[in-house]
């Protein structure tokens, strides 16, 4: 075997490291205008109000007490921003429906007014400062939830010292916002929004000996982390927008142009309806449908497998299968009828086509989700086309089991990947009856499912 020249190995390592380095900028970037959230544009497009609402925000706090998760040591950095009050005031300004007044730093404001008043008195200036604006509405609430690692996952492959993998993590932040009347103290309206925070890591590498004394090692990777402050900003922008729309419905405030607001509301409600229809999700953000695996379905599959018998040098063969499945109403269970045709044999000894007929009770572990593991148990019969010369029987009763993954692409199509297993109640499928353990058959099945 001819090994790579060390010079070529050095060039390969430099090329790989340069590719990795290109993922990270070496020059500092200039200051720029802050990013706007995805909800900010529609917030700015709100029709103008009849009269702006003078609103105060004393403090929109982080009420979670959550610290950043750390694998190495205790972290005293908070998981979410402590400046949510500023974000909320900016969202109020962008909406055009509120006149925000300063209340978070009210002590500083009062001290400054006192300094101005004292200075004027010393200079014999009796001009009084105008009174402060008072709020008709106080906006209260805060960041009431930050859930780390709501969902994590990944995939990877390693072969002959070469590897590639990807991982992801999903966090979640929840915002509650309410409007309180300053005259009565009555809570006028409460809304809440939720925003996910995604983190993704991709990496790859190589670690292998190319010669007795030559080792090639190289790594490359990149990580993407969605900024938590942007997630909080988007959740607050959406909360302010929803508070305005629901406030109009409750006659708390009114738009200047009813027709324009009606059109905006229709588009907004349509977007919300589409979002709910698209999500219909559980607390993990995974879409759920109670009737996803109801009714009747037919599956056609390709198989690859063998049997486990007395000779020990069994051949592996391909085949095909057809399954008809009927769901049991209001249950994760279904009745499955299976026909499978393949070939079994031992190399240089025998090879015969066989037919399998099975009846199984199938159970889906997550029937409401697109991807669901499944298991099934039942019984059936393994049958030769005709009685072979090496055995006395044509039919062999079996105990059957299967397990795998079922994925739904759409309303009518799906994909199944699984393993089927059969234990022969009557031994001697290969003509030998010996021992307490009978012959067995296994197959890996892959196929598409049609839901009429």
Domain check: are 161 and 199 in the same one?
A: yes
Q: Which of these three, 271, 288, 320, is where a domain ends?
A: 271
Mean pLDDT value across residues 421-441:
88
Q: What is the pLDDT of residues 307-350, one digit of tens each?
A: 888 887 888 899 999 999 999 887 889 999 999 999 998 888 88
Q: Is residue 95 within 8 Å of residue 139, measured between CB atoms? A: no
- Residue 287 domain-assigned? no
What confidence score (pLDDT) does residue 4 get? 46
Q: Which of 2-16, 59-73, 147-161, 163-177 has the highest mean pLDDT?
A: 163-177
Does 376 reside within a domain? yes
Provide mean pLDDT across the span 293-300: 89
* Distance (Å, whole) CA 430 – CA 306: 12
Q: What is the CATH number of the domain that holds 329?
A: 2.40.160.20
Token output for 386: 């005709």
136 within a domain of the structure (yes/no) = yes
Q: What was the pLDDT predicted at 281? A: 57
Q: Would residue 417 count as lying in a domain?
A: yes
Angle of helix 258-279 relative to helix 228-249, nearest 10 degrees?
A: 130
> Is the pLDDT confidence value at 23 over 60?
no
Which of 267, 273, 162 has the alpha carbon at shortest distance from 218?
162
Strands 371-384 and 53-57: unpaired
Residue ranges of alpha helices (H) inside 23-134 are: 40-44, 84-95, 106-122
**Tokens 């391909």 found at:** 318
Is residue 446 one of the residues assigned to a domain? yes
Q: Identify whether residues 256 and 354 lie together within a single domain.
A: no
Instruction: Examine the fold and report which residue of 236, 271, 306 is the final residue of a domain before the chain moves on.
Output: 271
**Residue 69 confidence class, pLDDT cut points 50, 70, 90:** low
Within this chain, do residues 145 and 237 fall inside the same structural domain, yes or no?
Answer: yes
What's the whole-number average pLDDT of the chain? Answer: 83
Task: Please say if the pLDDT value at position 66 is more than 90.
Answer: no
Q: Look at residue 20 in the predicted model and tell me its pLDDT.
A: 47
CATH of the domain at 236: 3.40.50.10610
Please indicate, yes or no, whether residues 257 and 324 belong to a single structural domain of this protein: no
**343 lies in the same domain as 427:** yes
How large is the angle between the packed helices 84-95 and 228-249, nearest 10 degrees?
Answer: 50
Q: In this structure, is residue 95 part of a structural domain?
A: yes
Which DSSP helix (H) or strand (E) runs through 38? none
pLDDT of residue 2: 43
364 lies in some domain: yes
Regarding whether 391 and 300 lie in a shared domain, the answer is: yes
Which is it for the CA torsion 377, 381, 383, 387, positive or negative? positive
Is the pTM higher than 0.85? The answer reads no
**How do residues 166-175 score in pLDDT, each as one tens digit?**
888 888 889 9
Q: Residue 360: give the domain boundaries.
A: 296-450
| 445 and 306 in a common domain | yes
- Same structural domain, 230 and 335: no
Concatenating the DSSP letter of every residue in 301-365 gives: EEEEEEEE-SSS-B--EEEEEEEEEEEPTTSSEEEEEEEEEEEEEETTTEEEEEEEEEEEEEEES
Closest-CA residue to 310 (of 431, 397, 400): 431
Count of structural domains within the chain = 2
DSSP for 408-438 reads E-SSSEEEEEEEEEEEESS--TTS---SSSP
Residues 259 and 333 both lie in one domain: no
**DSSP one-letter code for 132:** P
Q: What share of the chain has pLDDT > 70, as a percent?
A: 88
* Together in a domain, 195 and 307: no
Is 219 among the domain residues? yes
């Amino acid at each position: 075997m001819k090994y790579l020249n060390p010079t070529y190995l050095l060039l390969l390592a430099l090329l790989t490291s340069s590719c990795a380095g290109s993922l990270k900028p070496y020059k500092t970037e200039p200051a720029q205008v802050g990013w706007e959230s995805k909800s900010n544009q529609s917030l700015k497009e709100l029709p103008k109000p009849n009269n702006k609402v003078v609103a105060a925000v004393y403090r929109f706090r982080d009420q979670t007490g959550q610290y950043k998760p750390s694998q190495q040591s205790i972290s005293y950095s908070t998981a979410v921003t402590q400046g949510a009050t500023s974000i909320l005031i900016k969202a109020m300004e962008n909406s055009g429906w509120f006149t925000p007044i300063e209340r978070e730093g009210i002590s500083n404001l009062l001290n400054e007014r006192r300094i101005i008043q004292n200075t004027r008195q010393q200079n014999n200036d009796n001009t009084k400062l105008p009174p402060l604006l008072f709020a008709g509405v106080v906006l209260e609430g805060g960041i009431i939830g930050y859930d780390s690692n709501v969902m994590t996952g990944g995939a990877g492959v390693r072969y002959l010292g070469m590897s590639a993998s990807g991982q992801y993590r999903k966090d979640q932040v929840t915002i509650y916002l309410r409007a309180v009347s300053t005259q009565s103290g009555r809570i006028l309206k409460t809304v809440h929004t939720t925003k996910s925070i995604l983190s993704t890591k991709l990496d790859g590498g190589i670690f292998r000996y190319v010669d007795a004394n030559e080792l090639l090692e190289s790594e490359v990777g990149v990580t993407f982390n969605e900024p938590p402050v942007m997630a909080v900003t988007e959740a607050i922008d959406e909360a302010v927008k929803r508070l305005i729309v629901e406030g109009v419905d409750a006659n708390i405030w009114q738009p200047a142009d009813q027709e324009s607001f009606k059109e905006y509301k229709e588009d907004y409600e349509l977007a919300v309806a589409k979002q709910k229809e698209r999500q219909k999700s559980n607390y993990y953000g995974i879409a759920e449908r109670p009737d996803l695996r109801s009714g009747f379905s037919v599956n056609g599959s390709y198989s690859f497998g063998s049997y486990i018998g007395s000779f020990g040098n069994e051949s592996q063969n391909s085949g095909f299968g057809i399954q008809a499945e009927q769901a049991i109403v209001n249950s994760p269970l279904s009745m499955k009828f299976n026909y499978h045709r393949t070939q079994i044999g031992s190399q240089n000894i025998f090879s015969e086509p066989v037919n399998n007929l099975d009846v199984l009770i199938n159970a889906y572990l997550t029937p409401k989700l697109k991807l669901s593991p499944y298991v099934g148990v039942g019984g059936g019969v393994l049958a030769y086309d005709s009685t072979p010369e090496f055995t006395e029987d044509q039919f062999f009763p079996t105990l059957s089991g299967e397990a795998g993954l079922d994925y739904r692409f759409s309303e009518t199509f799906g994909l199944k990947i699984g393993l089927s297993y059969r234990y022969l109640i009557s031994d001697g499928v290969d003509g030998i009856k010996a021992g307490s353990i009978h012959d067995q058959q296994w197959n890996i099945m892959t196929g598409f499912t049609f839901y009429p």
